Structure 1
Amino acid sequence: MSPRLNYMQQSSDLFKKLSTLSMGVKASGIESGILYLVDIRASQLNGCAFCLDMHIKQAKIGGERELRLHHVAIWRESPLFSERERAALAWTEALTRLGEHGVSDSDYAAALEQFSEKELSDLTFAVGIINLWNRLNIAFRNVPGSLDKAFGLERAELA
């Protein structure tokens, strides 16, 4: 796979704004561990190799255990996730795999059992943003690991 165009350079103003929005979500108060799980799961569902690679490395640097990283794909069967994390992963799947009828009332109610309205709103922004990043990186075929040095991801020591 070879990269197509560099959207970060071609649309630098939009890239900067999306990056700023991403940083705003990280400062929203939702636990960083949950945000890592959201980024990883959406990237798995969308098949975004660049983002999946990056967010696994970020999670490891952030202190996430490797076994939990392996279990994100099987989170429903795994005993390694809290109820709050499970709710975030279910919400991520509901929004990433939007069906013909949108998000069900039961999915919404389940998410509200674990998150306040403000947190659920912030979480929804997080899911929307990672889905946009996934689409950008898939469309323009960014190569996994190609920006590790620029983002300081070599510290994950996963190469």
Structure 2
Amino acid sequence: MNANKGCHFSSHLGGVEGKEYAAQKKNRPDQEQKAIKIQAWWRGTLVRRTLLHAALRACVIQHWWKLMLAKLLERRKRAALESFSRREWAVVQLQSLVRMWRVRQRYCRLLHAVRIIQVYWRWHNCHSRGIFQGTYDLTAGPRRSVCQQRVGENGGGD
């Protein structure tokens, strides 16, 4: 029966072996408690390891999500900046065209005034300093004015 000494169960309950069984039975709850504590520790270690891995995975997912949100925010900021820049450029171009149109209008008015003054001045020169006797006609085209003399029609004293 010595072969069964390490086992918890014995088939013979009387005599010396029965006392050993009683002693083993008395010690068994202590050993079972130790085994239960070891098993509980091991299960707790497994659970903590699983929770740690889950927490690390959650941290990785959160980090990735924050990066995605940051990239999305950066894209939105860049799109808003490009949109603002395009609108600003369009406004500047429009202002430039309006200024150019106004300057051209002013230049055309001044050029028209100059041409009118030149027409009257040339007419005055033709009539006051004419060498030949006759009638002078002033004809003005869109680009220049011409003083033409008609000799001998109204003219002169013979």
Under a length normalisation based on structure 2, what TM-score does the superposition of the two structures give? 0.17
Q: Which has the higher contact order (CA 8 A, sep 6+)?
A: 1
Greater helix proportion: 2
Larger Rg computed on CA atoms: 2
Greater strand proportion: 2
